[in-house]
Structure 1
Amino acid sequence: MRTIMTAARPVFGWLSVALFLIFGSGWMTHLDNHMFTLGLFVWLFVAIIWVAFGVVHEAETLADMLGEPLGTLVLTLSIVIIEVALISAVMLSSPGSSTLARDTMYAVLMIVLNGVVGVGLLMGGIRHYEQAFNLKGASAYLSVIVPLTIIALVLPDFTTSTSDGSLARPQAIMFSILTIGLYGVFIWLQTGRHRGYFVAPDAQPIDPREIEHQRPHKLDKKSLLWHFILLLINILPIVILSKSLAKILEYGIAVTGAPVALGGIIIAMLVFAPEGISALIAIRADRLTRAINLCLGAVASTLGLTIPAVLAIGLYTGHPVLLGLPSSGIVMAVATLVLSAMTFSNARTTMLEGAVHLSMFIVFLVLVFSP
């Protein structure tokens, strides 16, 4: 049954691509029929999320086959490609979407660090009373997430080269290099000498000198090539369908008068849904360290790789990219970082931490619709 579901994902994705390539231009002329437009949106939303699960599945399979650090890079880059494709599609199709990248990054921060972490810790506290995790790994993630958040989402509001929350060209180039470099150092340490920080505290300690011996010495090249092809087969429909989703999303926000930030929230949900569900399943099974790796790893990769990619697209196309958060967003982002540092400063969590994070997520949602 699982094999059938795995095979059905790309089939459904490519069938959707074929239908939109053949009939999409005609469908886009009937967006004034709101029920029809809603049906198209639900179709694309479900298709992209379902195929995204296939991307994560194939990326994890390749990660197991390649070992570290290549395995982690394949999984991370697969998710980042989807995120960049969705953001770029909306950016390039709408001249008024200069804040989309910022809204998406901010939404990922709030959804992951407050929404998923809040629900997960609350659920885990009810089910397991207390849960343990690897404190060193969570601290390492936060030591990277904090500066990346400040550089990407807060600092642009306080520079004097520009007055609208964007970055001047030299700043965009240097900050992109800096964030990629910092994230690269983190990946190197995570998959190398400090790999033991990211395993469950009751797992067998990992000697860095033994890592080379744990990597596969002989790869099945045919199987590796096949899973790489399957990864591409799952990614490409998302990239192609993102253009149609961008048009429908832009039209829907304009017609309904919904907050512009809602576009970023929808993209963040699309990108993080597979990892978010996996994290909640891991917490339910009392594997909090794995859930933290998924959640904090998603935030770190989004800030470390997606923002440089979006800035590069903006510099190449001349499309403005505004990154600086409004005042309420800065307060919420800083409060979330402080709260996360407090939550993950103790090696055990309870329901209380989950309830506090969840309350912050509710405040975020209220501010989206009533700023």
Structure 2
Amino acid sequence: MNARISEIVSEARASPLLLLLAFVPLCLVGEHVWPERHTLLFVLSVLAIVPLAALLSRATESVADRTGQAVGGLLNATLGNLTELVIALTALQAGQYMLVKASIAGAIVTNTLFMLGGAFLIGGLKHHEQQYNRVSARLQAGLLFLATVALLVPSLLAEAESRSTMLQPLSLGLAVLLIVAYGLGMLFALGTHKEALASVGHAESAETPWPIPVALAVLATVTLLVALVSEVFVASVQHAAETLGMTPAFVGFVIVALVSAAAEMTTAFSAAARDQLDLSVSIALGSAAQIALFVAPLLVLLSYVIGPTPMNLQFWPGAIAMMLIATLAATLMTNGGRSAWFVGVMILMVYAIFALALFLLPPVA
């Protein structure tokens, strides 16, 4: 075991990317030393999250190598969304419900379009054509569509003034239903129909996996550090965005979502390059489905305990439209079970259209 740990340390030293780990303590110390220098803290937090994402990716790959790509994808999605959950809980406790909803919608759209499209593009550039289990992709896309419909209903009913009183109990009921649906979906995927969702790709040999105890220890430590650095990032990004000329809508939907999902993206992209596209699809769609089916309803339930007032599931029309279009795009593009680089380009173009619209024409609410 000692020899294996020494190997891991040597591997870390040999990676130029991990030299950026020096920015982690610098970022955390800088939060107390330069609390008013928001742009500097923003840059430091981004530089700190990048190597942490690389470590999280490497540890997750080691676990996935022994548990299978389905469980590995679920694990990576869960750990990646843990950072999103920590950020949302902080905003929830402060009563910043618009920030909570913006981070939820942005994460769903980013994971569904940018992460999935990027994986298809990167994998397609290295491999002429790739295959993945379309049954698994269809399940994840179906769960995501279910959640999008559930989020659409409160927003539609909110337009009718006479029905506004039922918005909160409706949101509470939908939250319970979504969590139940997510649990049953996991039972289907990892239990009763596990064999139908097995990987179909021909994976290349990856680096030697780490021992499970070491990988789990790295996962726990790095996840905690990512959460701490993410808090610095969120606290500074709004002020830094004003300095850099970015709109609040663009920051919430694009910048925060991309940085929060850095660890998952690192794993999804590297897996696609190794022809492990099942893992990439599982991470991208699984993460988006987990946010919509578990994180969002969990925040509604927790708002009754830690929030100043209960939170509902009403999103503004622009957010609902983007989540619905992202879900339909992912469903359409993953229906065939095969992918090439141009499929990734088309998905990324949808994301680019959304990002451009948010940058130039931010929504009023």
TM-score (normalizing by structure 1): 0.76
User: Residues 56 and 281 (structure 1 numbering): CA distance in 2 closer, same or farther, change over 3 Å?
Assistant: closer
Q: Is the 8 A contact 1:166 1:323 kept in 2?
A: no
Contact 2:154 2:171 in 1 (8 A): no
User: Take 2:354 and 2:168, find their aligned partners in 1: how far apart are those partners?
Assistant: 31
Aligned equivalent of 2:335: 345
Q: Distance in 1 between matches of 2:219 and 2:12?
A: 15
Give the number of equivalent residue pairs: 340
Which amino acid is the alignment partner of residue 271 of structure 2? A
SS of the equivalent of 1:192 reads helix
Q: Which residue of 1 aligns with 2:260?
A: 271
Residues 157-196 of structure 1: matches in 2 within 5 Å?
Answer: 157-160=155-158, 168-196=167-195
Amino acid at match of 2:352: I
Cα distance, 1:53–1:122 mapped onto 2, change above 3 Å: closer
Unaligned runs of 5+ in 1: 32-36, 204-222
- Residue type of the alignment partner of 2:228: I
Paired residue secondary structure (1:129) = coil
- Answer yes or no: is 1:364 the counterpart of 2:364: no
Output one character per residue of 1:232-267: Cα deviation in whole Å (capped at 9) or x when no partner: 322323333343333212323455663222134333
Deviation string, structure 1 residues 38-86 (Cα, Å, up to 9, x no partner) = 2221111222343244345445555667789987765444223211112
Q: Quick one: distance in 2 between partners of 1:310 and 1:300?
A: 15
Query: Deviation of residue 90 (structure 1)?
Result: 4.4
Measured in 2, the distance between the counterparts of 1:295 and 1:305 equals 15
Deviation by residue 1:14-44 (Cα, 9 ceiling, x = unmatched): 6347624xxx34512x33xxxxx32221111
Deviates more, 1:103-112 or 1:64-73: 64-73
Partners of 2:200 and 2:72 in 1: CA distance: 22
Q: Do the aligned residues in 2 keep the contact of 1:13 with 1:238 (CA within 8 Å)?
A: no
For residues 230-245 of structure 1, the aligned pairs below 5 Å read 230-245=218-233
1:83 aligns with 2:72: no
State the distance in 2 between where 1:67 and 1:135 align.
17
Give the 3 Å change call, closer, same or farther, for CA 3–202 of structure 1 in structure 2: closer
Aligned residue runs from structure 1 range 200-215, under 5 A: 200-201=199-200
Work out whether residues 148 and 320 of structure 2, in 8 Å CA contact, stay in contact via their aligned partners in 1: no
TM-superposed CA distance for 1:313, in Å, is: 3.9
Asked if structure 2 preserves the Cα contact closer than 8 Å seen for 1:102 and 1:325, the reply is: yes
Q: Which residue of 2 aligns with 1:40?
A: 41
Moved more, 268-277 or 312-321: 312-321
Contact in 2 for aligned 1:189/1:195 (Cα 8 Å):
yes
Verify the 8 A CA contact 2:144 2:292 in the aligned structure 1: yes
Structure 1 equivalent of residue 11 of structure 2: 2
Q: Which residue of 2 aligns with 1:311?
A: 300
Deviation readout 1:103-128 (Å, 9 max, x if unpaired): 22322233232223333334444543
Q: Which residue of 2 aligns with 1:27?
A: 34
**Partners of 2:269 and 2:29 in 1: how far apart?**
34
Number of the residue aligned with 2:246: 258
Q: Go from structure 1 to structure 2 and tell me whether the alpha carbon gap of 1:333 and 1:77 turns closer, same or farther (over 3 Å shift).
A: closer
1:355 aligned partner: 345
Distance 1:274 1:198, change over 3 A: farther
- Unmatched 5+ stretches in structure 2: 1-9, 203-210
Aligned counterpart, 1:149: 148
Cα separation, partners in 2 of 1:367 and 1:134, compared to 1, 3 Å: same
Q: CA deviation at 1:145?
A: 0.9
Which amino acid in structure 1 is aligned with residue 268 of structure 2? Answer: A
Cα distance between partner residues in 1 of 2:164 and 2:357: 20
Distance 1:181 1:252 in 2: 40
| 1:90/1:250 contact within 8 Å kept | no
Question: AA paired with 1:27?
Answer: W
* CA 1:298–1:67: 2 relative to 1, 3 Å: same
- With over 3 angstroms needed to count, the CA separation of the structure-2 counterparts of 1:45 and 1:166, relative to structure 1, is farther
Contact 2:121 2:343 in 1 (8 A): yes
Equivalent residue in structure 2 for 1:15, among 21, 25, 35? 25
User: Does the residue aligned with 1:258 lie in a helix, a strand or coil?
Assistant: coil
- Corresponding residue of 1:138: 137
Task: Please give the alpha-carbon distance, in whole angstroms, between the structure 2 residues aligned to 1:151 and 1:5.
Answer: 48
Q: What root-mean-square deviation, in Å, do the aligned CA atoms of Structure 1 and Structure 2 show?
A: 3.7
SS in 2 for 1:100: helix
CA contact (8 A) 1:137 1:198 kept: yes
Question: What amino acid is the match of 2:133?
Answer: N
Identity of aligned residues (%): 18
1:122-146 alpha-carbon deviations (Å, 9 max, x no partner): 4444543332221111111111110
Distance 1:125 1:102 in 2: 34
Task: Give the direction of change, closer, same or farther, for the CA distance of 1:370–1:301 in structure 2 (3 Å limit).
Answer: same
Distance of 2:254 and 2:164 partners within structure 1:
20
For the residues of structure 1 that align with 2:192 and 2:356, how far apart are their CA atoms? 43
